[in-house]
Amino acid sequence: MAAADGFDAVVVGSGPNGLIGAIMLADAGLKVLLLEGAEEFGGGLRSAALTLDGFTHDMCATVLPMARASAAFRNLDLPVEWAFPQVQAAHPLDGQDAVLVHRDVAETAAGLGSARDAAAWRQSVGATASDGYGLIDSLLSPLSVPRAPLRLARYGALGALPATTLGRMLFTGERGRAVLAGMAAHSMVDLHDPITGGYGLLLAALAHQVGWPVVRGGSARLAAALVDRFVSLGGVAETGQQVKDLSDLPQARVILLDLTPAQLLAVAGDRLPGGYARQLRGYRYGPGVFKLDWALSGPVPWKDPAVAQAATVHLGGTLAQIAAGEAEVAAGRHPERPYVLTVQPCVADPSRAPAGRHVLWAYCHVPNSSTVDMTTAIEDQIERFAPGFRDVILARAVHDTVAMQQHDPNIIGGDIAGGHSGFVQFVKRPTLSLHPWATPLPGVYLCSASTPPGAAVHGMGGYHAARLALSRLR
């Protein structure tokens, strides 16, 4: 290990949570060492020319509404340029125009096909988006006193439901049901399960509240801005530092680990009490993703040209079709027609490809650690709504669950959510505790997506772990 003793705190892992935690500790006056095992910082916030020279692809996260909404990022005012698509998200359907999610609630509601469904959208998604940051702050700090208790209670009454139940309860037509399912399927949880309705409501509301933007030039620029802020506060950041055991670390009063439970078990060895270690061994990882990146000769030839205005496109058809595909994955199978999350960054940020060219990525969910090649299934789903898509492909890069974990060891078995995100692990993440970021080891904290509030680029795992560590130091 290159670093020597003399640090107050050590942070292992430079994903968004690790970076936020490191910044908070350094801002509080601690001397902080940040260690990253890879050769570049960022974790899921990395970009590279995965296909052809001149094409910038994000390795994992691209569209970052949570980074616009969370308290951890709002307070930083980072020098990055956010690029917003004209349409926040699109949901193509067979034989009809796509459902478009705009920044404006009323404009989105008007596209749902009936006055009743338009009213239901305004009263559910629109109401969720209408409370400033009180609701989102309450949801991203689930173990704190809620800032907006009444809003939270109203949201919870709907959000606790399965997405299948909520969609059919709110909407009479297929358009509203389908777009809610597309949002909810980001959770990587069977849409027949509780709280998946809440995932759909929240993501749809964020499209209205803060938008679904990308970082101009690639997500790696957000990671670079975070590292720069950390270093400006006196922090020391090092890449290429593999931590295989806690004994590899210099002595420090605080250790923040942006690691999952399986990795904590590996680096802690027999230091952990037996009961806590058993709970970590019982932690459940969720489905993985099979991801494709393409360099394209031009834009995707969508049947509905309006889809070309959206950076995020949800492919899978109706609520019933999406729910059936996600249920197959939850049962350990590979659906023939999977739900496909597709992102076309050049819609908002043309700088990511040579003039007139485009980059595109998409993934579908697969059983954890699957090595099945889903290229044909994904491209068939795109062709379903964009005939001729394969004709514009210049090059593709393929990443199964094994490749995803090789890229980022936190992506266990391809699980980009840091663990199954169903109800049990919503409240027990990774253990049932009022302070789940704290481990039984003095001064050692977990801060990854395997802690509350879970997955997404919001930095709140690091935020809460750092706050807890600082409060205990005081």
How does pLDDT run across 203-220, given as a tens digit for each residue? 999 999 999 999 999 999
Q: Residues 312, 408, 12, CA angle at the centre, nearest 5°?
A: 120
Mean pLDDT, the chain, rounded, equals 96
Q: Whole-angstrom Cα distance, residue 442 to residue 453?
A: 23
Average confidence (pLDDT) over 374-389: 98
pTM of the entire predicted model: 0.96
Type and span of the H or E element at 401? helix 401-407
What is the average pLDDT across 360-367?
A: 98
Which structural domains are found in the chain, ordered by start?
9-46+218-283+418-473 (3.50.50.60), 82-214+287-407 (3.90.660)
Sign of CA dihedral 345, 347, 348, 352: positive
Distances (CA, A) of 177 to 102, 260, 415: 17, 34, 26
Given a cut of 60, is residue 1 above it in pLDDT?
no
Phi, psi of 297 (to 5 degrees): -75, -15
Does the pLDDT of residue 2 top 60, yes or no?
no
Query: Residue 438 has what DSSP assignment?
Result: B
β-pair partners for 10: 33, 255
Structure tokens, 16: 């968004």
- Which pLDDT band holds residue 131 (cuts at 50, 70, 90)? confident
Confidence of residue 67 (pLDDT cuts 50, 70, 90): very high
Each residue's pLDDT tens digit, 3-25 = 346 899 999 999 999 999 999 99
Strand partners, 422: none
pLDDT in tens, 168-215: 999 999 999 999 999 999 999 999 999 999 999 999 999 999 999 999
pLDDT in tens, 133-163: 999 999 999 988 888 788 899 999 999 999 9
Let me know: does 36 contact 223? Beta carbons within 8 Å. no
Is the pLDDT reported for residue 243 higher than 90? yes
Interatomic CA distance for residues 388 and 180, integer angstroms: 28
Residue range 255-278, pLDDT digits in tens: 999 999 999 999 998 999 999 999
DSSP alpha helices (H): ranges in 122-251? 127-129, 134-140, 149-159, 163-170, 174-184, 196-209, 220-232
pLDDT of residue 5: 63
Q: How many residues does the chain have?
A: 474
